[in-house]
Amino acid sequence: MKADKIILGVLGGVAVGALLGVLFAPEKGDKTRKKIMDKSNDYADELKDKLDTLLGTINKKYEKIWSEGENLIAQGKSKFDDAKHEGETLLSEGKSKFYDVKNEIKNTSI
């Protein structure tokens, strides 16, 4: 954002300088007002273009971050599902071994 502030400051300084130059030029009032209006329109268009570019850049970065966030969430969900499945498998195997040992103990005569 610091570079954007510098750009806006420079554009503002250039606009003020051009305005002062036109105001102090030795021409009729109509011509001076027309020049001021033309310069104002030029700077307004230039500023609008710069802001559009800035907003486009911000929008692209936002979309990239959003997409990366969605990918991270999907990866996390996938890893969680894999871990859950592995846990369920281990639990099932543990129960099976438990019942095997239980039956073995039951069938052993002391």
Tens-digit pLDDT profile for residues 83-110: 999 999 999 888 888 888 888 888 876 6
Contact 15, 39 (CB under 8 A): yes
What DSSP state is assigned to residue 27?
A: S
Nearest CA among 1, 3, 38, 45 for reference residue 18: 38
pTM of the model: 0.47
- Residue-wise pLDDT for 9-51, tens only, equals 877 787 777 777 766 767 676 777 787 788 888 888 888 898 8
H or E stretch including 104?
helix 29-107
Q: Cα-atom radius of gyration of the chain, to the nearest Å?
A: 36
Q: What is the DSSP string of 42-59?
A: HHHHHHHHHHHHHHHHHH
CB atoms within 10 A of CB 7: 14
69: burial class by Cβ within 10 Å (0-12, 13-18, 19+)?
exposed
More confident site: 67 or 39: 67
Q: 60 pLDDT band (50/70/90 cuts)?
A: very high
Q: How far apart are CA 79 and CA 88, in angstroms?
A: 14
Contact 32, 25 (CB under 8 A): yes
